[in-house]
Amino acid sequence: MTARDVLASLEPLLPELEALYRDLHAHPELSFAEHRTAAALARRLTGYEVRTGVGGTGVLGVLRNGPGPTVMLRADIDALPVEEQTGLDYASTVRAPDTEGNEVPVMHACGHDMHATWLSGAATLLAASRHTWGGTLLVAFQPGEEAGDGATAMVRDGVFDVAGRPDVVLGQHLVPGGAGWVLTRPGVIMAATDALRIVLHGRGGHGARPESTVDPVVLAASIVLRLQTIVSREIAATESAVVTVGSLHAGTAHNVIPDRAVLEVSVRAFDETVRRKVVAAIGRIVHGESAAAGVSRPPEITRISGFGVTVNDEATNTRLTGAFRGYFGGERVLEAPLVTGSEDFGEFGRAAAAPSVFWLVGGMDTAAVRQAVAAGRFEQDIPSNHSPLFAPVLHPTLRTGVETLVVAALEFLSVPDAIVAR
């Protein structure tokens, strides 16, 4: 039997998967708080040895099916502190406490609800067709991807102790490309990232007497502007990096100069040398501007999270791309661009010392995507991941993501001898 034979059972499963997706979308949970999500996904792993609470709220399904390779399929399951504005009838209205106890809106604005649904569907089909393949299948629903350490948490918690280290690790991500598109890329596909929290200490006082203070708001403004020169003046034109100040908090009243300001900064780079250079430059600028402002207490810079560069094993990616083209046809399998977004998926492959491949699946109306690209308005007209407007079209997005996982898994799982002999 081929992947096409196995996937013949997908059609009657789609209504059930659509209901699962809508439920997950309407009930998002933040990183390491995915208790309801994890329970719903664990219940669906019929025929698997199931471990819950892996890495906090992760779920691992193990299906041992005789001798053969060990293949790991991974999906992330956490949501973001974003207020949904899609207008969908299953839109999230959830609010929940963040890590600092603040109540925030919660939304699946990055597609992790779709990732989880895809993997649940693939797990169901692969379990039902176990007579067609041999080996061991690991199905990992990972928490805390947005927090930056969900994969590492699962590794530390012994995700590979249950059934051994995988021979290959496979994963995918929903992107704002055309629904039904599958995008692969050898080598580097996603950037490394560092998230930094910077606390600037000033000296507070009355807004009418700034001369008696060291104003951390002015200091923060100087730092924000100066950080933008790192890429334009310190990184070569042949290299690339992104420095974003995504959060700046200072003060409580118009007539009070506060005694501190807090910034959160995101760094993206495709090269580890460039990554280290950018982070070092941020430290130099923050300390230098603080000294120039005359602060009495030096700034504090802490690392919130970080991801390494996501790198696809070239030989494995080539093999997988060929399998996708054989199933979908060449017109639907495209080369992925370099993505400045980041992922902790690569931590599984690094920890297992196994080749890994991460690919992208489009989820937006294809005609709208083509029209936006042709008009030079893709960035303006097509909501991206992390947007409050981000919402994939359900079909064929749902079908395509299940198909890719099944095709990928069967490409690396072995064919049992009994079938070969027929």
Give catalytic residues, as residue numbers.
Answer: 78, 145
Q: Token pair of 384, please?
A: 């991206």
Interaxial angle between packed helices 272-293 and 216-227, expressed in degrees from 0 to 180 and rounded to the nearest 10: 150
How far is 234 from 222, CA to CA, in rounded Å?
A: 18
Furthest CA-CA distance within the chain: 89
E-assigned strands of 373-413? none
Q: Which residues contact 117 (CB under 8 A, 6 or more apart)?
A: 17, 20, 21, 24, 398, 401
- Give the length of the chain: 422
Give which of 206, 180, 181, 142 is closest to 348, Cα–Cα: 142
Q: Which phi and psi (to 5°) does residue 122 adopt?
A: -65, -40
CA separation for the pair 414, 410 (Å, rounded): 7
115 is in an annotated binding site: no
Contact 51, 154 (CB under 8 A): no
CA dist 185 and 320 (Å) reads 10
Compute the distance between CA of residue 79 and CA of residue 145 in angstroms, rounded to an integer.
9
Q: Whole-angstrom Cα distance, residue 365 to residue 359?
A: 19
Residue 100 burial class via C-beta count within 10 angstroms: exposed 0-12, middle 13-18, buried 19 and up: exposed
110 annotated as a binding-site residue? yes
Pairing mode, if any, of strands 70-76 and 135-142? Answer: parallel
Handedness of CA 158, 163, 166, 169 (dihedral sign): negative
Cα distances (Å, whole numbers) of residue 348 to 158, 338, 382, 422: 11, 21, 31, 37
Q: Write out the H or E segment, with its range, that includes residue 70.
A: strand 70-76
**201 annotated among ligand-binding-site residues:** no
Q: Per the annotation, where are the binding residues for Mn(2+)?
A: 110, 112, 146, 173, 386
Binding residues: 110, 112, 146, 173, 386
